[in-house]
Amino acid sequence: MTIATEPANGTEIPPVAPSVEALPQLVDSFGRRIHYLRVSVTDRCQFRCFYCRPPGGIDLAEHRELLTLEEITRLVRLFTECGIERVRLTGGEPLLRRNIMPLVAALAALPRLRELSLSTNALMLARYASDLVANGLKRVNISLDSLNPETFREITRGGDLAPVLAGIEAALRAGLHPVKVNMVVMKGINETEIPAMVEFARENGLILRFIETMPIGEPGQDSISRFVPAEVIRETVQRHFGRELRETRPPAHGNGPARYFRIGSSGGEMGIISALSQHFCEGCNRVRLTSRGRLVLCLGREDRVDLKAPLREGMEDEPLRQRIREAVAKKPERHRLDGETPNIPPHRMSALGG
């Protein structure tokens, strides 16, 4: 069912408290510096992509269960005072969260935050791209798994491709830079579109990342049957363009786990995110805050820490910062998406914000 909620700009968020003195960087027990936080602001989405949500949907949070915009702002401030430098707003679809614009403005004003970005399905982006830029957003990541309207409709269970393409155009026009496009590659569904997606990205000045499907959305056996490893993706691009792919340094805004490749000397770049075939856990730099206020330390594990309860019980800033530091210190060494932990819920991606 399509959610009709729309953002509005009428709610004021209290001014951000003055920053505290410099605090140590966030470092886990394996010596990894954690400086990237993904914040889910809603679990609702207009699409029901089969690799993300089960056929019957998910147990959506009631409004009182969600962190308020003021609570999100305070927690993100505390995270930045602990060492977080980059924040990405996610969902579900974050543009469905009411009064998202004042939240964007409040977070963008945090003195320690270097970059604020947003993950979106782009369905509402044509309407809100300019407002997002005006309120301080720097860039967007857009999910786009097919350029074929019928395939797109199949993957999203009824979604319309046209407004998504319009949203990408609006993001470029508004000055959100860079615009990253993510394609989950699935055997028998969209793997034949790999060359077309590369051409689309090159023609429009987009940063394209291919993503291996992971067993965290649909039932594990289904995702395994659709699995296309990173090396096959790379070979497909190389074969189509007749040029060697050479690994290169990630772009300046590369906060994530993608390995980037240049197509020949002037053919553009692409990234591949390989959570299974070539996992990137040793360089993981992120944690996730769910819309219900749980800190998730690893997408492929069940480790999480409740931050909403102490927040609503009146815990002061320094004890909350200490709770964050202690939680990050317990971040596991690696994920368990390879079958070692078989009981990961099938709706994990949509529940945790990706």
CA distance linking residue 102 with residue 131, whole number of Å: 10
pLDDT attached to residue 242? 80
Q: Is residue 20 part of a domain?
A: no
Secondary structure element (H or E) that encloses residue 225, with its range: helix 220-225
Beta strands in the chain (DSSP E): 36-40, 86-90, 115-120, 139-143, 179-185, 207-212, 245-248, 259-263, 269-273, 286-289, 294-296, 304-306
Coil vs helix vs strand at 102 = helix
pLDDT attached to residue 253? 62
pLDDT attached to residue 57? 72
Q: Is residue 54 part of a domain?
A: yes
pLDDT attached to residue 1? 33
Query: How many residues in the chain?
Result: 354
Q: Is residue 24 part of a domain?
A: no
CA distance linking residue 118 with residue 123, whole number of Å: 13
**195 Cβ partners below 8 Å, 6+ apart?**
236, 237, 240, 241
Q: Is residue 21 part of a domain?
A: no
pLDDT attached to residue 349? 53
CA distance linking residue 101 with residue 8, whole number of Å: 7
Burial level of 253, CB count in 10 A (0-12/13-18/19+)?
middle
Q: Given the structure tokens 């782009």, which residue do they identify?
A: 122
Q: Is residue 317 part of a domain?
A: yes
Q: Is residue 176 part of a domain?
A: yes
Q: Which two tokens stand for residue 90?
A: 């996610």
Residues 21, 321 contacting (CB under 8 angstroms): no
Secondary structure element (H or E) that encloses residue 100, with its range: helix 100-108
Q: Is residue 263 part of a domain?
A: yes
**DSSP assigned state of 62:** P
Q: Is residue 30 part of a domain?
A: no
Which CATH number does the domain housing residue 253 bear? 3.20.20.70
pLDDT attached to residue 283? 82
pLDDT attached to residue 213? 85
Residue 14 has a CB neighbour count (10 Å cut-off) of: 10
pTM assigned to the model:
0.87
CA distance linking residue 225 with residue 178, whole number of Å: 33
pLDDT attached to residue 267? 62
CA distance linking residue 135 with residue 329, whole number of Å: 33
Question: Domain range for residue 303?
Answer: 36-352
pLDDT attached to residue 323? 97
Q: Which two tokens stand for residue 263?
A: 């197509």
CA distance linking residue 301 with residue 335, whole number of Å: 6
pLDDT attached to residue 252? 63
Angle at 144 between CA 141 and CA 147, to 5 degrees: 145
pLDDT attached to residue 342? 42
Residue 111 has a CB neighbour count (10 Å cut-off) of: 10
pLDDT attached to residue 15? 53
CA distance linking residue 63 with residue 5, whole number of Å: 12
306 residue type, one letter: D
Coil vs helix vs strand at 158 = coil
Q: At what angle do helices 100-108 and 69-82 cross, to 10 degrees?
A: 20
Q: Which two tokens stand for residue 217?
A: 């959305």
Q: Which two tokens stand for residue 89?
A: 């707003």
Number of independent structural domains in the chain = 1
Ordered mean pLDDT values, 10 residues apiece, the chain (354 residues):
43 52 77 96 94 80 95 98 97 96 98 97 98 98 98 97 98 96 96 96 94 66 80 93 80 72 75 74 91 91 90 98 96 68 48 58
